[in-house]
Structure 1
């Protein structure tokens, strides 16, 4: 039932979109998701969907009670909308659009201007594990493996002149070391950032600042010499192969927002109808915890929208599950201005991700993590299965409206016309 995300959404999302012809890209995407799920799992899940269609109000009531109890009073105090009114709105959008009570608060659908556009919000599972996977099944020569392997990604971009994080070493689980860039000695004499080859969300990452004389110090104050640090990296790699990269600094204009981490943008690019590549959305991430070494949402990060034309930041927020209606015009720790600030090198940053997408031409969408450093914009990584939650949390217009949805609907329609690729059949052991 991974495609259905029960009991966090109502099962009616698999029914309502099929009952009428879509009038806009968002409706087409909802319909395509329902169609895909039934094609893939119809016979296996039909009974469950029928049963859950009757029982669904019970888990909905629990989830609504859970989130409204924690957040409802704060929303009522800020908006004047009573908790009973919030519950009714949650039920309405859950029944019609399968938006869960949690997402009602995350996307701030208690705001009237957002509630009016509830039908255009794209659910995380519609893309990640849903239509992203459907589109993948139609690709004959997929580059997914390269994007999912950080060492292969670095080599692929380096060969094509795309600026990425300088990556010095790949350390395998057997302790073997592969040099990806030339340098003198055993380890580069510079600040280093170590991360798992296939890690996610900043887990397992370490930053080691060069102290001179062959010594490095980590974020916890531990000091090691070159031999000790290399042995430490090998120990970490015995569980999960590691990469050793340069630990770059944020651009000087952004250091009052960085709080000891390298701030970054998450940017969405999509292949358009003519085969070109467009950057459609961006958010800027910053940390609020001095002890953090990454700016991820679940590591205490805050996020603000970025105007694609100008690079201007909006107010920032956290994930929205603890403090609804709280938006930061200034940084909560440093007091630095956020809203209205214009990111440096913005045009170059947009051009970089569009050029990077062209190096992976089979991808319909890619979610890029990009740092604007003292060396200019640098790509950290590209994400194959990228969702829209951060975008829809920070932008007033849902992802189902605009170029992202228009291009995505175009490619999904074409994918339904094509059969499953040979590469996909081989991967699934069907040939």
Structure 2
């Protein structure tokens, strides 16, 4: 039943116009007719538990069955990740407000929650009085960095700031207001347009913490660094903190690999993430805050002044995990499930 639910969800959320375009491009080199490719796609989404877009990201048109079964798609990940974090604590990670309350001691300072039209004068005053010139407004219900914005408050008085917030905030939507973080110079030089973030996925049995894998995301001239927004993702060696190879971008609807950042021209492989020991210390501390959450993907900001926790993800993204290493990791996912089942 879960497989059919996941299959239906994937089909419902699909951009079918984009899929038809990709099918037109792919059928010439795949050996399929256009309609044959679409038929193979539909069967694959159910049999291999992938979404239509993942069918192309993973390059299924050029793969045989033995290769396809190695990839973990949306439905397989959804079923697995439901076991990694029990239902009764999922809100700790799905709600940014609850997450902030639990993990505040590991995060950058914040001013509180805000929504329009109920803009509290006390919060406006805090934004002006805390000695922070730039704040970031993160939608409490936002996903993949969407809907967030930064605001420079230097030179504003309370009345002007109140009016400016009224223009920017969406009616009824709640925002968490945090100090805007700026990357360490060694990361910002790669892409200065947004905060480039590290994701480290950990496993805990309640006593010890194990690092499962690490990735870094770089923006591509936009406001956020997510793959879904056209950014890049690369594998990071969890021991050394160094990028191990090329970075992947999915902006075109396919997984495309870049040796260098197209804007800064800096080579991805060999980039060394500053404060790496502190990054590892931070995520291990985070993993021990809620030990019922066995496997979590932690997003971390690395700045000149140190490292800060941004989010904990119960859904740590099958694309960010597999595409940078150009390998289907479904066997790894099954191993993770066995680790969790053994403890419980």
Q: What TM-score comes out, normalization by structure 2 length?
A: 0.80
Aligned pair in 2 of structure 1 residues 177, 83: CA closer, same or farther (>3 Å)?
Answer: farther
Is the 1:106–1:321 contact (alpha carbons within 8 Å) kept by the matching residues of 2?
Answer: no
Equivalent in 248, 253, 259 of residue 317 of structure 1: 248
2:58 alignment partner, one of 107, 110, 123: 107
Structure with larger Rg: 1
Flag structure 1 segments of 5+ consecutive residues without an equivalent. 10-61, 216-224, 416-431
Aligned pairs (5 A) from 1:260-271 = 260-271=193-204
Contact 1:287 1:300 (C-alpha < 8 Å) held by counterparts: yes
Cα deviations by residue, 1:283-324 (Å, 9 ceiling, x for unpaired): 2111112xx322122322121122222222221121265355
In structure 1, C-alpha distance between the alignment counterparts of 2:268 and 2:209, rounded to whole Å = 29
Work out whether residues 102 and 321 of structure 1, in 8 Å CA contact, stay in contact via their aligned partners in 2: no
Map of 2:238 onto structure 1: 308
SS at match of 1:120: coil
Unaligned runs of 5+ in 2: 12-16
Distance 1:193 1:184 in 2: 11
Deviation of 1:207 after TM superposition, in Å, equals 1.1
Q: 1:142-179 CA deviation, whole Å, 9 max, x = no partner? A: 44333333343233223xx42x1321222256334776
Cα deviation 1:191-235 (Å, max 9, x = unaligned): 11112122222222111235x4x23xxxxxxxxx44322344366
Which of 62, 66, 70 is the equivalent residue of 1:120?
70
Aligned position for 2:134 = 191
The reply on whether 1:336 has 2:252 as its aligned counterpart is: no
Over 3 Å counting, the alpha-carbon distance change for 1:372 and 1:386 in structure 2 is: same
- Going from structure 1 to structure 2, the CA distance change for 1:277 and 1:340 (only over 3 Å counts) comes to same
Name the count of aligned residue pairs.
331
Contact 1:169 1:177 in 2 (8 A): no
Deviations 1:237-276 (A, max 9, x none): 652122221111111111122232111122222224x742
1:69 pairs with one of 24, 40, 45: 24
Task: Using structure 1 for the length normalisation, give the TM-score.
Answer: 0.65
Identify the match of residue 7 of structure 2 among 5, 20, 25.
5
Is 2:286 aligned against 1:380?
A: no
The answer to whether the 8 A contact 1:261-1:293 is kept is: yes
Determine which of 66, 72, 81 is the counterpart of 1:132. 81
2:264 & 2:210 partners in 1: Cα distance? 34
The answer for the alignment partner of 1:398 in structure 2 is: 328
Q: Cα RMSD (Å) of the superposition?
A: 3.6
Q: Give the deviation of 1:379 after TM superposition.
A: 1.1
Q: Distance in 2 between matches of 1:117 and 1:275?
A: 37
